């Protein structure tokens, strides 16, 4: 079985088991302070690997309520739950596909691209960061949050526990890859929160330079 098929099967199972509710609750405690601090936007939002869709629902209903939201999710079962959460909204689309193979609608660029707990499932994280950066509109921001990284002792055994290979980068590699992808104002912080999650979530963010030139 290919790596992506293994990951897809894993998350289909989680979705069917309990709707990924516990995972979403724990993640939301760390995601909420990041997303709630953003300004409302009438542009476009992209979420990579939204899981059961808790953050997509929040963004589509608040920060991007006057704009457009799009999600790309590998697991059919997770995508089904996302769709239920945003049902009735005509400004949200969800594609069921690997982000690495996905192509956005022609010419579409995004003002914000967000992902929580997804990038270490990519075999080539740098390629995923490059691809996300290339989809940003000028001045757009990429925010990538992960719990599985080299400095996080708590996550050390995850690959073995889950039975899938995961890519374990050190914090600085995320910073470097954001800069190598041409992003500016690159910064990093760690977030805590939730009841059962003991490690810290690494949040890396950076912006595509704006090409807008004042007269």
Ligand X SMILES: C[S@@+](CC[C@H](N)C(=O)[O-])C[C@H]1O[C@@H](n2cnc3c(N)ncnc32)[C@H](O)[C@@H]1O
Interface ranges with ligand X (CB under 6 A): 4, 7, 11, 23-24, 27, 48-51, 72-75, 78, 98-100, 116-118, 121
Shortest Å distance, C-beta 202 to ligand X? 14
Residue 32 host element (H or E) = helix 21-36
Q: Which is nearer to ligand X, 68 or 120 (CB)?
A: 120
Shortest Å distance, C-beta 192 to ligand X? 15
Shortest Å distance, C-beta 115 to ligand X? 7
Q: Which is nearer to ligand X, 21 or 137 (CB)?
A: 21
Shortest Å distance, C-beta 162 to ligand X? 9
Instruction: To the nearest 10°, report the CA torsion of 155, 72, 101, 184.
Output: -70
Residues 6+ apart with CB under 8 A from 210: 138, 139
Q: Which is nearer to ligand X, 12 or 176 (CB)?
A: 12
Residue 8 contacts residue 165 (beta carbons within 8 Å)? no
Rounded Cα–Cα distance for residues 73 and 95 (Å) = 6
How many Cα atoms occupy the beta-carbon half-sphere of 47 within 13 Å?
27
Q: Which is nearer to ligand X, 8 or 141 (CB)?
A: 8
């Amino acid at each position: 079985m290919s790596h992506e098929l293994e990951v897809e099967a894993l998350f289909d199972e989680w979705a069917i088991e309990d709707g990924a509710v516990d995972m979403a609750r724990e993640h939301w405690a760390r995601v909420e302070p990041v997303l709630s601090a953003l300004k409302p936007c009438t542009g476009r939002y992209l979420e990579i690997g939204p899981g059961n869709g808790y953050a997509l629902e929040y963004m589509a209903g608040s920060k991007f309520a006057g704009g457009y939201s799009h999600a790309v999710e590998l697991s059919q079962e997770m995508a089904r739950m996302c769709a239920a959460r945003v049902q009735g909204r005509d400004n949200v689309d969800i594609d069921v596909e690997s982000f690495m193979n996905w192509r956005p609608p022609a010419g579409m660029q995004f003002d914000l691209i967000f992902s929580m707990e997804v990038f270490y499932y990519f075999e080539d994280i740098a390629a995923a960061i490059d691809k996300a950066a290339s989809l940003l509109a000028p001045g757009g921001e990429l925010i990538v949050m992960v719990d599985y990284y080299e400095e996080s002792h708590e996550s050390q055994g995850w690959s073995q526990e889950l039975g899938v290979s995961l890519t374990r980068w050190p914090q600085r590699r995320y910073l470097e890859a954001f800069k190598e992808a041409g992003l500016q104002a690159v910064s990093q912080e760690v977030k805590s929160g939730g009841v059962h999650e003991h490690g810290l979530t690494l949040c890396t963010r950076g912006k595509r330079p704006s090409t807008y030139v004042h007269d």
